[in-house]
């Protein structure tokens, strides 16, 4: 299954909201050296209880995530 994600980095909170078919995720990490992507994977693993892989958007705030 694939989902669309919009990441808000350097936030004061960590939160997940679903707006239409896009998950908006706020993370506290700063967008440096893949820290946001690593934190995003941890958050989504806990939320969906599945394995997570970033399919596209490694350096973008808009990403496509694969759940398997």
Structural domain harbouring 60: 2-67
pTM of the predicted model, to two decimals? 0.90
pLDDT bucket at 30, cuts 50 / 70 / 90? very high
44 vs 58: CA distance, rounded Å: 15
Reported as a single tens digit per residue, the pLDDT across 36-62 is: 999 999 999 999 999 999 999 999 999
Number of domains into which the chain is organized: 1
Check residue 36 and give its pLDDT: 96
Report pLDDT for 14.
95
Side-chain half-sphere exposure of 12, counting CA atoms within 13 A:
0
- State the CATH number of the domain containing residue 48: 3.30.1200.10
Mean pLDDT of 11-26: 96
Closest CA to 21 of 34, 5, 42, 43: 5
Q: What is the pLDDT of residue 5?
A: 98
* pLDDT in the model for residue 46: 96
């Amino acid at each position: 299954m694939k989902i669309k994600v919009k990441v808000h980095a350097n936030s004061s909170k960590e939160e997940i909201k679903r707006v239409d078919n896009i998950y908006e995720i706020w993370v506290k990490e700063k967008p440096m050296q893949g820290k946001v992507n690593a934190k995003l994977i941890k958050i989504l693993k806990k939320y969906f209880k599945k394995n997570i892989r970033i399919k596209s958007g490694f350096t973008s705030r808009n990403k496509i995530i694969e759940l398997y």
